[in-house]
Structure 1
Amino acid sequence: MNTTFKKIAASTVLLGGLFTLGAAHAAPDQDLKGKTVVLVHGAFADGSSWEKVVPLLEARGLHVVAVQNPLTSLADDAAAAQRTIDAQTGPVVLVGHSWGGAVISQAGNDDKVKALVYVAAFAPDSGTSVNDLIKDKPAPAWAPELRKDSGNFLTLSDKGIAEDFAQDLTPAQQHLVAATQGPWSAGAINEKVTDAAWHHKRSYFVIADKDRMIDPRLQVAMAGQINATVTHANASHVVMLSQPKVVADAIIAAARNAE
Protein backbone atom coordinates (compact mmCIF):
# COMPACT_ATOMS: atom_id res chain seq x y z
CA MET A 1 0.00 0.00 0.00
CA ASN A 2 1.61 3.28 -1.06
CA THR A 3 1.89 6.32 1.18
CA THR A 4 -0.78 8.33 -0.63
CA PHE A 5 -3.31 5.50 -0.39
CA LYS A 6 -2.54 5.06 3.32
CA LYS A 7 -3.23 8.74 3.94
CA ILE A 8 -6.53 8.58 2.05
CA ALA A 9 -7.57 5.42 3.94
CA ALA A 10 -6.68 6.97 7.28
CA SER A 11 -8.60 10.14 6.45
CA THR A 12 -11.63 8.11 5.43
CA VAL A 13 -11.61 6.19 8.70
CA LEU A 14 -11.24 9.43 10.69
CA LEU A 15 -14.08 11.16 8.84
CA GLY A 16 -16.27 8.10 9.22
CA GLY A 17 -15.65 8.13 12.95
CA LEU A 18 -16.47 11.82 13.20
CA PHE A 19 -19.71 11.40 11.26
CA THR A 20 -20.68 8.49 13.51
CA LEU A 21 -19.89 10.54 16.61
CA GLY A 22 -21.90 13.48 15.26
CA ALA A 23 -24.87 11.28 14.44
CA ALA A 24 -24.79 9.71 17.89
CA HIS A 25 -24.64 13.15 19.51
CA ALA A 26 -27.61 14.37 17.45
CA ALA A 27 -29.64 11.17 17.83
CA PRO A 28 -33.08 11.66 19.36
CA ASP A 29 -33.48 10.69 23.01
CA GLN A 30 -35.67 7.62 23.36
CA ASP A 31 -37.30 9.00 26.52
CA LEU A 32 -38.47 12.10 24.62
CA LYS A 33 -40.16 10.34 21.71
CA GLY A 34 -43.94 10.54 21.69
CA LYS A 35 -43.93 13.78 23.68
CA THR A 36 -45.04 17.16 22.36
CA VAL A 37 -43.90 20.66 23.22
CA VAL A 38 -46.50 23.37 22.66
CA LEU A 39 -44.92 26.84 22.50
CA VAL A 40 -46.99 29.92 23.35
CA HIS A 41 -45.54 33.30 22.37
CA GLY A 42 -45.99 36.54 24.26
CA ALA A 43 -47.18 40.05 23.51
CA PHE A 44 -45.45 42.02 20.74
CA ALA A 45 -44.45 38.71 19.11
CA ASP A 46 -45.66 35.78 17.03
CA GLY A 47 -44.85 32.10 16.69
CA SER A 48 -41.61 32.84 14.85
CA SER A 49 -40.11 34.01 18.15
CA TRP A 50 -39.42 30.31 18.81
CA GLU A 51 -37.57 29.72 15.53
CA LYS A 52 -34.21 29.05 17.18
CA VAL A 53 -35.62 26.77 19.87
CA VAL A 54 -37.76 24.55 17.63
CA PRO A 55 -34.91 22.80 15.77
CA LEU A 56 -33.03 22.15 19.03
CA LEU A 57 -36.08 20.39 20.46
CA GLU A 58 -36.86 18.47 17.29
CA ALA A 59 -33.26 17.23 17.10
CA ARG A 60 -33.84 15.48 20.42
CA GLY A 61 -36.94 13.68 19.16
CA LEU A 62 -39.66 15.97 20.49
CA HIS A 63 -42.69 16.92 18.45
CA VAL A 64 -43.03 20.71 18.51
CA VAL A 65 -45.93 23.04 17.70
CA ALA A 66 -45.89 26.82 18.02
CA VAL A 67 -49.27 28.44 18.69
CA GLN A 68 -50.18 31.62 16.85
CA ASN A 69 -51.96 33.63 19.53
CA PRO A 70 -54.49 36.22 18.34
CA LEU A 71 -53.40 38.41 21.29
CA THR A 72 -56.97 39.67 21.52
CA SER A 73 -57.75 38.48 25.06
CA LEU A 74 -56.67 35.95 27.66
CA ALA A 75 -59.71 33.84 26.81
CA ASP A 76 -58.97 33.91 23.06
CA ASP A 77 -55.29 33.11 23.51
CA ALA A 78 -56.02 30.29 25.95
CA ALA A 79 -58.57 28.90 23.48
CA ALA A 80 -55.93 28.93 20.72
CA ALA A 81 -53.53 27.05 22.98
CA GLN A 82 -56.29 24.62 23.95
CA ARG A 83 -57.06 23.80 20.31
CA THR A 84 -53.41 23.00 19.76
CA ILE A 85 -53.27 20.83 22.88
CA ASP A 86 -56.43 19.00 21.75
CA ALA A 87 -54.74 18.09 18.47
CA GLN A 88 -51.83 16.31 20.17
CA THR A 89 -51.41 12.74 21.35
CA GLY A 90 -49.27 11.76 24.31
CA PRO A 91 -47.81 13.95 27.05
CA VAL A 92 -47.58 17.71 26.41
CA VAL A 93 -45.09 20.21 27.82
CA LEU A 94 -46.71 23.65 27.64
CA VAL A 95 -44.28 26.57 27.33
CA GLY A 96 -45.11 30.27 27.62
CA HIS A 97 -43.00 33.37 27.05
CA SER A 98 -43.88 36.72 28.63
CA TRP A 99 -47.67 37.21 28.34
CA GLY A 100 -47.74 33.57 27.24
CA GLY A 101 -47.14 32.68 30.90
CA ALA A 102 -50.61 33.93 31.74
CA VAL A 103 -51.96 31.93 28.80
CA ILE A 104 -50.39 28.65 29.91
CA SER A 105 -51.53 29.29 33.48
CA GLN A 106 -55.07 29.42 32.10
CA ALA A 107 -54.83 26.65 29.50
CA GLY A 108 -52.49 24.27 31.31
CA ASN A 109 -55.09 22.35 33.31
CA ASP A 110 -55.76 19.98 30.42
CA ASP A 111 -55.00 16.37 31.38
CA LYS A 112 -52.53 16.05 28.48
CA VAL A 113 -50.35 18.79 29.94
CA LYS A 114 -47.72 17.23 32.20
CA ALA A 115 -45.41 20.21 32.76
CA LEU A 116 -45.35 23.98 32.41
CA VAL A 117 -42.30 26.01 31.40
CA TYR A 118 -42.30 29.77 32.00
CA VAL A 119 -39.74 31.68 29.91
CA ALA A 120 -39.21 35.24 31.16
CA ALA A 121 -42.93 35.09 31.76
CA PHE A 122 -45.78 36.16 33.99
CA ALA A 123 -47.21 33.47 36.26
CA PRO A 124 -50.46 34.89 37.68
CA ASP A 125 -52.28 33.08 40.47
CA SER A 126 -55.96 32.17 40.33
CA GLY A 127 -58.10 35.31 40.34
CA THR A 128 -55.09 37.42 39.35
CA SER A 129 -54.31 39.42 36.20
CA VAL A 130 -50.97 40.50 34.78
CA ASN A 131 -51.85 44.03 35.83
CA ASP A 132 -52.31 42.82 39.41
CA LEU A 133 -48.69 41.61 39.34
CA ILE A 134 -47.22 44.93 38.22
CA LYS A 135 -49.65 47.70 39.23
CA ASP A 136 -47.80 48.61 42.43
CA LYS A 137 -44.39 48.58 40.74
CA PRO A 138 -42.66 51.68 39.27
CA ALA A 139 -43.51 52.39 35.65
CA PRO A 140 -40.99 50.59 33.42
CA ALA A 141 -38.62 52.52 31.16
CA TRP A 142 -40.34 51.11 28.07
CA ALA A 143 -43.82 52.38 28.97
CA PRO A 144 -43.45 55.61 26.90
CA GLU A 145 -42.55 53.45 23.88
CA LEU A 146 -45.99 51.84 23.73
CA ARG A 147 -48.13 52.81 20.74
CA LYS A 148 -51.91 52.28 20.69
CA ASP A 149 -53.82 51.97 17.42
CA SER A 150 -57.46 52.76 16.63
CA GLY A 151 -58.53 49.26 17.71
CA ASN A 152 -56.98 49.61 21.18
CA PHE A 153 -54.06 47.31 20.32
CA LEU A 154 -50.55 48.01 21.57
CA THR A 155 -47.16 47.75 19.87
CA LEU A 156 -43.66 48.78 20.89
CA SER A 157 -41.67 51.42 19.04
CA ASP A 158 -38.44 50.47 17.28
CA LYS A 159 -36.61 52.21 20.12
CA GLY A 160 -38.47 50.15 22.72
CA ILE A 161 -37.61 46.94 20.88
CA ALA A 162 -33.93 47.83 20.54
CA GLU A 163 -33.35 49.18 24.05
CA ASP A 164 -35.72 47.21 26.28
CA PHE A 165 -37.25 44.21 24.52
CA ALA A 166 -34.34 42.70 22.61
CA GLN A 167 -31.22 44.65 23.54
CA ASP A 168 -28.91 41.63 23.17
CA LEU A 169 -29.86 40.92 19.55
CA THR A 170 -28.10 42.39 16.54
CA PRO A 171 -29.62 45.52 14.94
CA ALA A 172 -30.82 43.39 12.01
CA GLN A 173 -32.51 40.94 14.36
CA GLN A 174 -34.06 43.79 16.35
CA HIS A 175 -35.47 45.25 13.14
CA LEU A 176 -37.05 41.89 12.25
CA VAL A 177 -38.58 41.57 15.74
CA ALA A 178 -40.03 45.07 15.44
CA ALA A 179 -41.39 44.45 11.96
CA THR A 180 -43.08 41.15 12.84
CA GLN A 181 -44.42 41.97 16.29
CA GLY A 182 -48.00 41.05 17.09
CA PRO A 183 -50.20 43.87 18.37
CA TRP A 184 -51.57 43.08 21.84
CA SER A 185 -55.04 44.05 23.03
CA ALA A 186 -54.71 46.70 25.72
CA GLY A 187 -57.52 45.12 27.72
CA ALA A 188 -55.85 41.72 28.05
CA ILE A 189 -53.62 42.89 30.88
CA ASN A 190 -56.65 43.16 33.19
CA GLU A 191 -58.10 39.68 32.52
CA LYS A 192 -57.77 37.30 35.45
CA VAL A 193 -56.68 33.68 35.37
CA THR A 194 -59.48 31.49 36.72
CA ASP A 195 -57.58 28.41 37.95
CA ALA A 196 -53.80 28.72 37.71
CA ALA A 197 -52.47 25.47 36.29
CA TRP A 198 -49.17 25.73 38.15
CA HIS A 199 -51.01 24.71 41.32
CA HIS A 200 -51.54 21.31 39.75
CA LYS A 201 -48.61 20.80 37.35
CA ARG A 202 -44.85 20.54 37.70
CA SER A 203 -43.35 23.89 36.71
CA TYR A 204 -40.07 25.23 35.36
CA PHE A 205 -38.93 28.83 34.99
CA VAL A 206 -36.23 30.41 32.82
CA ILE A 207 -35.35 33.74 34.43
CA ALA A 208 -33.83 36.35 32.12
CA ASP A 209 -31.43 38.23 34.37
CA LYS A 210 -31.06 41.20 31.99
CA ASP A 211 -34.79 41.50 31.27
CA ARG A 212 -36.02 45.10 30.97
CA MET A 213 -39.64 44.17 30.21
CA ILE A 214 -40.42 41.97 33.25
CA ASP A 215 -38.25 42.82 36.24
CA PRO A 216 -35.97 39.83 36.99
CA ARG A 217 -36.75 40.29 40.69
CA LEU A 218 -40.43 39.75 39.91
CA GLN A 219 -39.51 36.67 37.88
CA VAL A 220 -37.58 35.29 40.85
CA ALA A 221 -40.56 35.96 43.13
CA MET A 222 -43.02 34.28 40.74
CA ALA A 223 -40.72 31.28 40.26
CA GLY A 224 -40.57 30.90 44.03
CA GLN A 225 -44.33 31.18 44.41
CA ILE A 226 -44.98 28.42 41.89
CA ASN A 227 -42.17 26.25 43.30
CA ALA A 228 -40.53 26.05 39.88
CA THR A 229 -37.27 24.44 38.88
CA VAL A 230 -35.25 27.52 37.92
CA THR A 231 -32.74 28.23 35.18
CA HIS A 232 -30.99 31.61 34.99
CA ALA A 233 -29.87 33.18 31.71
CA ASN A 234 -27.78 36.33 31.33
CA ALA A 235 -30.17 37.53 28.65
CA SER A 236 -32.78 40.04 27.60
CA HIS A 237 -36.52 39.46 27.55
CA VAL A 238 -36.21 37.52 24.28
CA VAL A 239 -33.96 34.88 25.83
CA MET A 240 -35.33 32.25 23.42
CA LEU A 241 -33.76 34.23 20.55
CA SER A 242 -30.52 35.32 22.20
CA GLN A 243 -29.81 32.12 24.15
CA PRO A 244 -31.99 29.41 22.59
CA LYS A 245 -29.95 26.50 23.94
CA VAL A 246 -30.56 27.59 27.54
CA VAL A 247 -34.30 27.65 26.86
CA ALA A 248 -34.27 24.39 24.91
CA ASP A 249 -32.34 22.62 27.69
CA ALA A 250 -34.92 23.73 30.29
CA ILE A 251 -37.76 22.46 28.08
CA ILE A 252 -35.97 19.16 27.48
CA ALA A 253 -35.53 18.71 31.23
CA ALA A 254 -39.26 19.27 31.70
CA ALA A 255 -40.07 16.82 28.90
CA ARG A 256 -37.91 14.09 30.43
CA ASN A 257 -40.01 14.26 33.59
CA ALA A 258 -43.34 14.50 31.74
CA GLU A 259 -45.24 11.22 32.03
Structure 2
Amino acid sequence: MLDRRSFSGLMLAGAAAALLPRAARAQGQPARNVVLVHGLFADGSCWSEVIARLQAAGLNATAVQNPLTTLEESVAATRRVLARQEGPTVLVGHSFAGMIVSEAGTDPNVSALVYVAARAPDAGEDYAALAKTFPPPPASAGIVFDGDEGRLTEAAFLRDFAGDLPQARAKVLFAVQEPFRKALLAGRTTQAAWRAKPSFYAVSSEDRTIDPDLQRFMAKRMNARTIELPASHLSLISHPQEVAGLILEAARGAA
Protein backbone atom coordinates (compact mmCIF):
# COMPACT_ATOMS: atom_id res chain seq x y z
CA MET A 1 0.00 0.00 0.00
CA LEU A 2 1.30 3.46 -0.87
CA ASP A 3 1.96 5.86 2.02
CA ARG A 4 0.85 9.46 1.75
CA ARG A 5 4.28 10.69 0.58
CA SER A 6 4.52 8.08 -2.20
CA PHE A 7 0.97 8.75 -3.30
CA SER A 8 1.62 12.50 -3.43
CA GLY A 9 4.77 11.90 -5.47
CA LEU A 10 2.89 9.83 -8.03
CA MET A 11 0.19 12.47 -8.30
CA LEU A 12 2.76 15.22 -8.86
CA ALA A 13 4.57 13.15 -11.49
CA GLY A 14 1.32 12.53 -13.32
CA ALA A 15 0.41 16.20 -13.21
CA ALA A 16 3.85 17.16 -14.53
CA ALA A 17 3.54 14.70 -17.39
CA ALA A 18 0.15 16.11 -18.29
CA LEU A 19 1.68 19.58 -18.54
CA LEU A 20 4.45 18.47 -20.89
CA PRO A 21 3.96 19.40 -24.53
CA ARG A 22 2.89 16.49 -26.69
CA ALA A 23 6.17 16.85 -28.58
CA ALA A 24 8.16 16.13 -25.43
CA ARG A 25 6.02 13.12 -24.61
CA ALA A 26 6.20 11.76 -28.17
CA GLN A 27 9.99 11.79 -28.29
CA GLY A 28 11.55 8.61 -27.00
CA GLN A 29 8.25 6.73 -27.23
CA PRO A 30 7.76 3.84 -29.68
CA ALA A 31 5.98 5.06 -32.81
CA ARG A 32 3.10 3.23 -34.42
CA ASN A 33 3.03 5.34 -37.59
CA VAL A 34 5.44 6.28 -40.34
CA VAL A 35 4.80 9.05 -42.87
CA LEU A 36 7.08 9.03 -45.93
CA VAL A 37 7.62 11.96 -48.29
CA HIS A 38 9.19 11.69 -51.76
CA GLY A 39 11.35 14.26 -53.48
CA LEU A 40 11.92 15.43 -57.04
CA PHE A 41 11.64 13.15 -60.08
CA ALA A 42 9.48 10.63 -58.17
CA ASP A 43 6.06 9.95 -56.67
CA GLY A 44 4.77 8.20 -53.56
CA SER A 45 5.17 4.74 -55.08
CA CYS A 46 8.96 5.00 -54.75
CA TRP A 47 8.49 4.00 -51.09
CA SER A 48 6.65 0.75 -51.93
CA GLU A 49 9.43 -1.68 -50.99
CA VAL A 50 10.18 0.16 -47.76
CA ILE A 51 6.46 0.31 -46.91
CA ALA A 52 6.07 -3.44 -47.35
CA ARG A 53 8.82 -4.02 -44.78
CA LEU A 54 7.37 -1.50 -42.33
CA GLN A 55 3.94 -3.08 -42.61
CA ALA A 56 5.44 -6.53 -42.01
CA ALA A 57 6.87 -5.09 -38.78
CA GLY A 58 3.39 -3.98 -37.69
CA LEU A 59 3.65 -0.27 -38.43
CA ASN A 60 1.08 1.92 -40.11
CA ALA A 61 2.86 3.50 -43.10
CA THR A 62 1.53 6.27 -45.36
CA ALA A 63 3.22 7.87 -48.38
CA VAL A 64 2.49 11.53 -49.08
CA GLN A 65 1.76 12.42 -52.69
CA ASN A 66 3.99 15.47 -52.76
CA PRO A 67 2.60 18.03 -55.25
CA LEU A 68 6.11 19.42 -56.04
CA THR A 69 4.62 22.84 -56.71
CA THR A 70 5.85 25.10 -53.88
CA LEU A 71 7.50 24.31 -50.57
CA GLU A 72 4.48 25.69 -48.73
CA GLU A 73 2.04 23.45 -50.62
CA SER A 74 4.28 20.41 -50.19
CA VAL A 75 4.50 21.04 -46.43
CA ALA A 76 0.73 21.51 -46.27
CA ALA A 77 0.16 18.17 -48.01
CA THR A 78 2.46 16.49 -45.48
CA ARG A 79 0.74 18.14 -42.53
CA ARG A 80 -2.63 16.88 -43.75
CA VAL A 81 -1.31 13.31 -43.68
CA LEU A 82 0.30 13.85 -40.27
CA ALA A 83 -3.03 15.10 -38.92
CA ARG A 84 -4.60 11.73 -39.72
CA GLN A 85 -2.10 9.79 -37.60
CA GLU A 86 -2.88 8.75 -34.03
CA GLY A 87 0.06 8.67 -31.67
CA PRO A 88 3.82 9.06 -32.17
CA THR A 89 4.86 9.19 -35.82
CA VAL A 90 8.20 8.93 -37.59
CA LEU A 91 8.48 11.42 -40.46
CA VAL A 92 10.75 10.33 -43.32
CA GLY A 93 11.99 12.36 -46.29
CA HIS A 94 14.00 11.46 -49.39
CA SER A 95 16.00 13.96 -51.40
CA PHE A 96 14.23 17.36 -51.61
CA ALA A 97 11.66 16.13 -49.09
CA GLY A 98 14.26 16.59 -46.37
CA MET A 99 13.25 20.26 -46.49
CA ILE A 100 9.64 19.25 -45.92
CA VAL A 101 10.63 17.01 -43.02
CA SER A 102 12.64 19.85 -41.47
CA GLU A 103 9.63 22.18 -41.71
CA ALA A 104 6.70 19.87 -40.94
CA GLY A 105 8.62 17.81 -38.40
CA THR A 106 7.80 20.28 -35.63
CA ASP A 107 4.35 18.65 -35.45
CA PRO A 108 3.90 17.55 -31.81
CA ASN A 109 3.16 13.95 -32.77
CA VAL A 110 6.38 13.57 -34.76
CA SER A 111 8.68 11.55 -32.51
CA ALA A 112 11.68 11.23 -34.83
CA LEU A 113 12.94 12.31 -38.25
CA VAL A 114 14.61 10.15 -40.89
CA TYR A 115 16.51 11.65 -43.82
CA VAL A 116 17.31 9.39 -46.78
CA ALA A 117 19.94 11.01 -49.04
CA ALA A 118 18.04 14.17 -48.23
CA ARG A 119 18.41 17.90 -47.92
CA ALA A 120 18.59 19.03 -44.30
CA PRO A 121 18.78 22.83 -44.23
CA ASP A 122 18.83 24.93 -41.11
CA ALA A 123 16.00 27.40 -40.55
CA GLY A 124 16.17 30.12 -43.19
CA GLU A 125 19.29 28.64 -44.77
CA ASP A 126 19.87 29.02 -48.51
CA TYR A 127 20.28 25.37 -49.47
CA ALA A 128 21.50 26.20 -52.97
CA ALA A 129 24.31 28.31 -51.50
CA LEU A 130 25.22 25.52 -49.09
CA ALA A 131 25.29 22.96 -51.93
CA LYS A 132 27.64 25.19 -53.95
CA THR A 133 30.31 24.74 -51.28
CA PHE A 134 30.55 21.11 -52.45
CA PRO A 135 31.24 19.71 -55.95
CA PRO A 136 28.21 20.02 -58.26
CA PRO A 137 26.41 16.69 -58.58
CA PRO A 138 26.24 15.31 -62.15
CA ALA A 139 22.43 15.04 -62.11
CA SER A 140 22.07 18.82 -61.99
CA ALA A 141 23.23 19.07 -65.60
CA GLY A 142 20.44 16.73 -66.66
CA ILE A 143 17.53 18.88 -65.49
CA VAL A 144 15.46 20.29 -68.37
CA PHE A 145 12.44 22.58 -68.28
CA ASP A 146 9.24 22.63 -70.28
CA GLY A 147 8.11 26.13 -69.40
CA ASP A 148 7.70 26.12 -65.62
CA GLU A 149 8.02 22.35 -65.21
CA GLY A 150 11.35 20.65 -64.58
CA ARG A 151 12.35 17.02 -64.98
CA LEU A 152 15.41 14.83 -65.58
CA THR A 153 16.35 13.63 -69.03
CA GLU A 154 16.26 9.88 -69.49
CA ALA A 155 20.05 9.66 -69.71
CA ALA A 156 20.53 11.60 -66.47
CA PHE A 157 17.77 9.66 -64.71
CA LEU A 158 19.29 6.28 -65.57
CA ARG A 159 22.91 7.28 -64.93
CA ASP A 160 22.80 9.90 -62.17
CA PHE A 161 19.55 9.30 -60.28
CA ALA A 162 18.97 5.55 -60.41
CA GLY A 163 22.44 4.35 -61.34
CA ASP A 164 22.46 1.18 -59.22
CA LEU A 165 19.06 -0.11 -60.33
CA PRO A 166 18.50 -2.57 -63.18
CA GLN A 167 17.96 -0.51 -66.31
CA ALA A 168 14.50 -1.96 -66.97
CA ARG A 169 13.37 -0.93 -63.48
CA ALA A 170 14.95 2.49 -63.80
CA LYS A 171 13.15 3.08 -67.12
CA VAL A 172 9.80 2.38 -65.49
CA LEU A 173 10.59 4.89 -62.75
CA PHE A 174 11.65 7.42 -65.38
CA ALA A 175 8.32 6.98 -67.14
CA VAL A 176 6.37 7.93 -64.00
CA GLN A 177 8.58 10.73 -62.70
CA GLU A 178 6.57 13.70 -61.44
CA PRO A 179 7.59 17.09 -62.89
CA PHE A 180 8.35 19.85 -60.38
CA ARG A 181 7.66 23.58 -60.56
CA LYS A 182 10.48 26.12 -60.59
CA ALA A 183 8.90 27.87 -57.61
CA LEU A 184 9.58 24.80 -55.48
CA LEU A 185 13.32 25.39 -55.61
CA ALA A 186 12.98 28.96 -54.34
CA GLY A 187 11.45 27.92 -51.01
CA ARG A 188 13.33 28.18 -47.73
CA THR A 189 12.44 26.44 -44.50
CA THR A 190 11.45 28.51 -41.49
CA GLN A 191 11.97 25.58 -39.07
CA ALA A 192 14.74 23.06 -38.45
CA ALA A 193 12.90 20.29 -36.65
CA TRP A 194 16.11 18.27 -36.40
CA ARG A 195 17.35 20.73 -33.78
CA ALA A 196 14.70 19.44 -31.36
CA LYS A 197 13.83 15.92 -32.56
CA PRO A 198 15.87 12.69 -32.65
CA SER A 199 17.23 12.45 -36.19
CA PHE A 200 18.51 9.62 -38.39
CA TYR A 201 20.29 9.84 -41.73
CA ALA A 202 21.02 7.32 -44.50
CA VAL A 203 23.92 8.57 -46.63
CA SER A 204 24.24 7.26 -50.20
CA SER A 205 27.97 6.97 -50.85
CA GLU A 206 27.58 6.62 -54.66
CA ASP A 207 25.08 9.45 -55.00
CA ARG A 208 25.27 11.60 -58.15
CA THR A 209 22.25 13.76 -57.26
CA ILE A 210 23.27 15.11 -53.82
CA ASP A 211 26.99 15.08 -53.14
CA PRO A 212 27.79 12.37 -50.54
CA ASP A 213 30.08 14.72 -48.60
CA LEU A 214 27.27 17.25 -48.38
CA GLN A 215 25.05 14.50 -46.99
CA ARG A 216 27.71 13.61 -44.43
CA PHE A 217 28.06 17.27 -43.45
CA MET A 218 24.31 17.67 -42.89
CA ALA A 219 24.06 14.39 -40.95
CA LYS A 220 26.96 15.38 -38.69
CA ARG A 221 25.58 18.88 -38.14
CA MET A 222 22.26 17.50 -36.91
CA ASN A 223 24.04 14.90 -34.76
CA ALA A 224 22.04 12.22 -36.54
CA ARG A 225 22.33 8.51 -36.03
CA THR A 226 23.91 7.81 -39.43
CA ILE A 227 24.33 4.81 -41.68
CA GLU A 228 26.12 4.78 -45.02
CA LEU A 229 24.92 2.73 -47.97
CA PRO A 230 26.85 1.93 -51.20
CA ALA A 231 23.91 3.25 -53.17
CA SER A 232 22.76 5.70 -55.81
CA HIS A 233 20.33 8.46 -54.89
CA LEU A 234 17.56 5.85 -54.85
CA SER A 235 18.76 3.85 -51.84
CA LEU A 236 15.15 3.50 -50.75
CA ILE A 237 14.70 1.22 -53.79
CA SER A 238 18.11 -0.42 -54.11
CA HIS A 239 18.56 -0.94 -50.34
CA PRO A 240 15.01 -1.05 -48.91
CA GLN A 241 15.94 -3.45 -46.12
CA GLU A 242 18.58 -1.12 -44.68
CA VAL A 243 16.41 1.98 -45.09
CA ALA A 244 13.47 0.25 -43.44
CA GLY A 245 15.78 -0.90 -40.65
CA LEU A 246 16.84 2.67 -39.91
CA ILE A 247 13.20 3.77 -39.85
CA LEU A 248 12.34 0.92 -37.49
CA GLU A 249 15.18 2.01 -35.23
CA ALA A 250 13.70 5.52 -35.18
CA ALA A 251 10.25 4.10 -34.50
CA ARG A 252 11.49 2.18 -31.46
CA GLY A 253 12.36 5.46 -29.84
CA ALA A 254 16.14 5.17 -30.12
CA ALA A 255 17.84 8.53 -29.72
> TM-score w.r.t. structure 1 length?
0.84
One-letter identity of the residue aligned with 1:225: R
Alignment of 1:98-137 (within 5 A): 98-137=95-134
Determine if contact 1:37/1:92 at 8 Å carries over to the other structure.
yes
Determine if contact 2:96/2:118 at 8 Å carries over to the other structure.
yes
Alignment of 1:52-201 (within 5 A): 52-150=49-147, 152-201=148-197
- Per the alignment, do residues 207 and 227 of structure 1 end up closer, same or farther by CA in structure 2, a change over 3 Å counting? same
One-letter identity of the residue aligned with 1:103: I
Q: What is the CA–CA distance in structure 2 between the aligned matches of 1:42 and 1:64, rounded to whole Å?
A: 17
Query: Which of these residues, 193, 196, 212, is aligned with residue 216 of structure 1?
Result: 212
Q: What is the CA–CA distance in structure 1 between the aligned matches of 2:156 and 2:169, rounded to whole Å?
A: 14
Q: What is the CA–CA distance in structure 2 between the aligned matches of 1:52 and 1:133, rounded to whole Å?
A: 32
Q: What is the CA–CA distance in structure 1 between the aligned matches of 2:107 and 2:241, rounded to whole Å?
A: 27
Which stretch shifts more, 136-145 or 153-162?
A: 136-145
Which stretch shifts more, 164-173 or 123-132?
A: 123-132
- Per the alignment, do residues 129 and 183 of structure 1 end up closer, same or farther by CA in structure 2, a change over 3 Å counting? farther
Question: Structure 1 residue 240: deviation in Å?
Answer: 0.5
Q: What is the CA–CA distance in structure 1 between the aligned matches of 2:33 and 2:126, rounded to whole Å?
A: 28
Q: What is the CA–CA distance in structure 1 between the aligned matches of 2:219 and 2:182, rounded to whole Å?
A: 25
Name the structure 2 match of 1:205: 201
Q: CA RMSD in A?
A: 1.5
Structure 1 residues without counterparts, runs of 5 or longer: 1-30
> TM-score w.r.t. structure 2 length?
0.86
Q: What is the CA–CA distance in structure 2 between the aligned matches of 1:186 and 1:130, rounded to whole Å?
A: 15
Structure 2 residues without counterparts, runs of 5 or longer: 1-28
2:125 is paired with a residue whose SS is: coil
Provide runs of 4+ in structure 1 moved above 6 Å: none
